Amino acid sequence: MAFLAEQLKRVKPSATIAVTDKARALKQAGRDVIGLGAGEPDFDTPDNIKQAAIKAIESGRAAKYTAVDGLAELKAAIARKFKRENQLDYKPAQIIVGTGGKQVLYNALMATLNPGDEVIIPAPFWVSYPDMVLLAGGTPVPVVGTMERGYKILPAQLEKAITPKTKWLMLNSPSNPTGAGYTREELKALAAVLVRHPHVHVMSDDMYEHLVYDDFEFFSPAQVEPALYERTLTVNGVSKAYCMTGWRIGYAGGPEPLIKAMAMIQSQSTSNPPAVSQWAAVEALDGPQDFIARHNKIFKERRDLCVSMLNQANGLSCPKPEGAFYVYPSCAGAIGKTAPSGKKIATDEEFVTELLECEGVAVVQGTPFGLGPAFRISYATKTEDLEEACRRIQRFCGNLK
């Protein structure tokens, strides 16, 4: 009898981690490698947030367990944030704090999915979504938003994907991996479909809410369609906008019975998220927000640099995304060509492997995100490195025969 659980056969390790590991190994071997794989800001946590954490440690408040579903002070700050930024009313009993948004999403799926339940996932998607659904016993149903449509799905596609077994639609705007953001009108049009199917719930992953550029305005589904409020879980966190990926704080607002069920899973698995990180998150949400605009100015310049340079590379085509810190160029024009090593490139995985080996640039192939041939670049990295990486990508594409 096998020792490891059967259900592990349904999932695979994250492709983003695999490429980061490969890049690290090359670096350790002395190669000059620029890593554009990681999905975290290159900026440090703002000082006022660090100071709040230090104060929590020194005053002894960080030493003890907190309530499993989060400190009352943090839940109050989250309720204020939802009201202030999303015009959403959530009482403390409708809010849960988890160890990262990832845990919140996972617990929501664990709390709701029965075998055979379907979860609609617009593709390209964050690599973890389908595997989380599989681990929770459900069936992922990808629906592709093509590059021509800005990597967004249409209402008719959503309508077609809904069956009596559909439990959730997982929406992520702005998106990892494409940066695509749904406008208010686009969300309204999707919501109109959902209104006709009251058994479908919405898991809105708003993790990149604050990272939007030009005049794009962020909206959350329950905000644009109040009829969805009762069946929407609005997920967010401090990792991306507040440069706190290592602190591991995410949260959600939603229907009270769902939040209670998620808290029960948390109580029997991880208990409360780290107290010190929760106090830091209170300061993140309540404290000054001005650094976000400063960071966004830099992110926008980097996005524009990538889009412009990648579109000048032979065989690549890169739409300009609304937000997050990713671009997602198609490499369809490079497939079938031969690299200087003599290797014929048949897939996006071979494209990124050759790119890493020839030019020392680490990006992630698109296929695991649900749409290829393409690749994801995270531009949350020093601008000089980014520019050099784009130059190397241009050279690599130029040398394909």
Ligand X SMILES: Cc1ncc(COP(=O)(O)O)c(C=O)c1O
* Interface with ligand X (CB under 6 A): 39, 100-102, 126, 172, 176, 205, 207, 237, 239, 245, 250
Q: Which is nearer to ligand X, 234 or 309 (CB)?
A: 234
Q: Which is nearer to ligand X, 176 or 365 (CB)?
A: 176
CA angle 318, 319, 320 (to 5 degrees): 120
CA 373 from chain centre, in angstroms, equals: 20
Beta carbons of 77 and 285 less than 8 angstroms apart: yes
Q: Which is nearer to ligand X, 90 or 129 (CB)?
A: 129
CB of 252 to ligand X, least distance (A): 11
Q: Which two tokens stand for residue 297?
A: 């100015």
CB of 103 to ligand X, least distance (A): 7
Q: Which is nearer to ligand X, 245 or 266 (CB)?
A: 245
Beta carbons of 90 and 236 less than 8 angstroms apart: no
Q: Which is nearer to ligand X, 112 or 173 (CB)?
A: 173
CB of 233 to ligand X, least distance (A): 13
CA 158 from chain centre, in angstroms, equals: 20
Report helix, strand or coil for 10.
helix
Type of residue numbered 35? G
> Phi and psi for 253 in degrees, rounded to 5?
-120, 140
User: Tokens 């959530």 map to which residue?
Assistant: 90
Continuous segment of H or E residues that includes residue 52: helix 47-58
Alpha carbon distance 23, 37 (integer Å) = 9
Distances (CA, A) of 70 to 95, 96, 277: 9, 6, 11
Q: What strands, in cross-sheet order, belong to the sheet with 250-253?
A: 95-98, 250-253, 232-237, 201-205, 166-172, 118-123, 139-144
Q: Which is nearer to ligand X, 201 or 376 (CB)?
A: 376
CB of 13 to ligand X, least distance (A): 15
CB of 52 to ligand X, least distance (A): 18
CB of 260 to ligand X, least distance (A): 21
Q: Which is nearer to ligand X, 222 or 243 (CB)?
A: 243
Alpha carbon distance 286, 47 (integer Å) = 14
Q: How many CB atoms lie within 10 A of CB 149?
A: 13
CB of 38 to ligand X, least distance (A): 9
Alpha carbon distance 108, 169 (integer Å) = 12
CB of 175 to ligand X, least distance (A): 7
CB of 290 to ligand X, least distance (A): 22
Alpha carbon distance 75, 242 (integer Å) = 17
Q: Which is nearer to ligand X, 135 or 334 (CB)?
A: 135
CA angle 13, 100, 54 (to 5 degrees): 130
Q: Which is nearer to ligand X, 171 or 259 (CB)?
A: 171
